[in-house]
Amino acid sequence: MSRARGSKALGAFALERLLNAVPLVIGVIVINFLLVSLAPGDPVTALIGEFPAPPEYVERVRAQYGLDRPVPERMVRYLGSVVRGDLGFSFANRQPVLELVLERLGRTLVLMISTVVLATIVGVVLGVWAARRPHSGVDRGATGFALAGYSIPEFWLGQILILVFAVGLGWLPAGGFRSIRADYVGWAAVVDQARHMILPMLALSFRYMAITTRLTRASLLEVMNSDYILASRARGLSERRVLWEHGLRAAALPIITVIGYNFSFIVAGSALVETVFGWPGVGRLMYDSIFTRDYPVLLGILLIVSIAVILVNLLTDVAYALFDPRVRY
């Protein structure tokens, strides 16, 4: 297969997947919309506030937000405005939803991306280390860690980290995004923000470290007995080089896959961790919006997250295809 033809086919593959995603996104919107609209409780109550409002006032507010229209009509209108890039107006925040979510999205992404990077690096190193000497003490330790990491809930881990490192030892801040007192600038601001990020990042990354460790170990063990590794060894390459260069390249694929397909779990985990640490990201916005019954914001967040999951899955498939020429697309 020539390179040009390959990339063209890959492009077509990606395009096809994107087109396939359109009905999925519509499905997501419809499901979410129905769910939120059919829930008991009247969003107008949250809009009005705590006082005995006369019925005509209630109806005025209802009409103002279009909540007096039947559900199918509202859904069609919503779909229409989503197509135009308008995710609606937040009831509680009196601000466009898109603006509100985008403001928070950056902080969530910072947390998620650094978590994935940390989990990948630590997981791969641990996995390689364990795979080098199967059934050794190191291997057992890494396996034990992987099992524990997969079972400990991240929100509880967050609480324990706060208990130990913030309350007990006083080394790191217990929560928040950055110091408010000292208005750090430049390098100091970066350090300050990093200090605030350490604990949430640890809490969130534990599980993915575990998954990556386990998977790296397993794939490496499989690869290390394959013919071409044996050939490399026969060529007299050092064991270390064989392991890191050849073994890891082969193991990269499953690792990418795992990270890609676990993306929606990272999203959920970050919602929990953001709440524990008061990280002002999308997860917390979602949590707040549930209790203020802010439908438009909830719908917007679900939509954006779902699209992100679709895109990440797509990217994972593309990466898979790029790395592994055997994959047909």
Partner 1 sequence: MRSFVIVALIALFFAGMASAQAETPTPGGSAIVILGSDPEHLNAAISTGYPIGAVGANLYSALLYLDADGAPHGELAESWTVSDDDLVYTFTLRPANFHDGEPLTSADVVYSMEEVLAPNHGRFLNAYRAVESIEAPDDATVVITLSEPYAPLISLLTVFDAPILPRHVFEGSDPLTNPANQQPIGSGPFRFVEWVRGERVVLERFDDYFLENALLDRLIYRIVPQDVARGVALEVGEADLVWGFYMPTADLDRLDANPDVDVWRGLTIPSLYFVFVNTDTPALSDARVRQALMHAIDREQIVEQAQGGLGEVAAGPFGAGFGYAYDEATDYRTLYPYDPERARELLADAGVGDLSLDFVYDSARGAFAAAAEIMRDNLRQVGITLNVEPVERSVMVERVYGRQYDLSMQSFTSSGDPAIGYHRIYLTAEPGTNFVNATGYGNPEVDALLAEAAGLADQAARAEVYARALEILALDVPTLVMFDELSTQASAANLRGLLTRLDQRDGLEFAWFAQ
Partner 2 sequence: MGLSVPAAPTAVGGVRGFWRQFRRHRLGVAGLAAVVLLGLVAVFAPLLAPYDPFSTSRNAFAPPGSPGHILGTDHLGRDVLSGVIWGARVSLIVGLAAAFTATVIGIAIGAVSGYFGGWVDELLMRITELFQIIPRFVLALIVVAFFGSGLTNLILVIGILSWPQTARLVRSQFLRHRSLPYVDGARVVGMRAPRIIFSEILPNVMAPVIVVASLDIAQAILLEASLGFFGLGDPNLRSWGGMLNTAQGFVQRAWWMSVFPGIAISLAVLGFNLVGDGLNEATDPRLREGS
What is the C-alpha separation between 92 and 49, in angstroms, rounded? 10
By residue count, the chain amounts to 329
155-174 residues in contact with partner 1 (CB under 8 A) are 162, 166-167, 170, 173-174
280-309 residues in contact with partner 1 (CB under 8 A) are 280-281, 284-285, 288, 290-293
Q: Are 257 and 210 in contact (CB under 8 A)?
A: no
Q: Which is nearer to partner 2, 167 or 190 (CB)?
A: 167
Extract long-range pairs of 103-107: CB within 8 Å, 24+ residues apart: 104/280, 104/281, 104/282, 104/284, 104/285, 105/281, 105/282, 105/304, 107/177, 107/279, 107/280, 107/281
Q: Which is nearer to partner 1, 229 or 285 (CB)?
A: 285
**Least spacing, CB of residue 52 vs partner 1, in Å:** 5
What is the C-alpha separation between 102 and 176, in angstroms, rounded? 19
The residue type found at 247 is G
100 binds, among partner 2, partner 1, none (CB under 5 to 8 A by kind): partner 1
CA distances (Å), 107 to each of 35, 43, 195, 274, 280, in order?
28, 28, 14, 10, 7
What is the C-alpha separation between 268 and 294, in angstroms, rounded? 19
Q: Are 206 and 155 in contact (CB under 8 A)?
A: no
**Least spacing, CB of residue 241 vs partner 2, in Å:** 30
CA atoms within 13 A on the CB side of 148: 9
Q: Which is nearer to partner 1, 173 or 269 (CB)?
A: 173
Binding site for partner 2 (CB under 8 A): 23-24, 27-28, 31-32, 35-36, 39-41, 147-148, 150-153, 155-156, 159-160, 162-163, 167, 264-265, 267-268, 271-272, 275, 286-287, 290-291, 298, 301-302, 305-306, 309-310, 313
Phi, psi dihedral angles at 161 (to 5 degrees): -60, -40
Task: State the binding string over 89-128 for partner 1 (x if CB under 8 A, else -).
Answer: x--xxxx----x--xx--x---------------------
Binding partner 1 (rule: CB under 8 A), the pick from 45, 136, 226, 238 is: 45
- Chain positions contacting partner 1, by CB under 8 A: 40-46, 48-53, 55, 57, 64, 89, 92-95, 100, 103-104, 107, 162, 166-167, 170, 173-181, 275-278, 280-281, 284-285, 288, 290-293
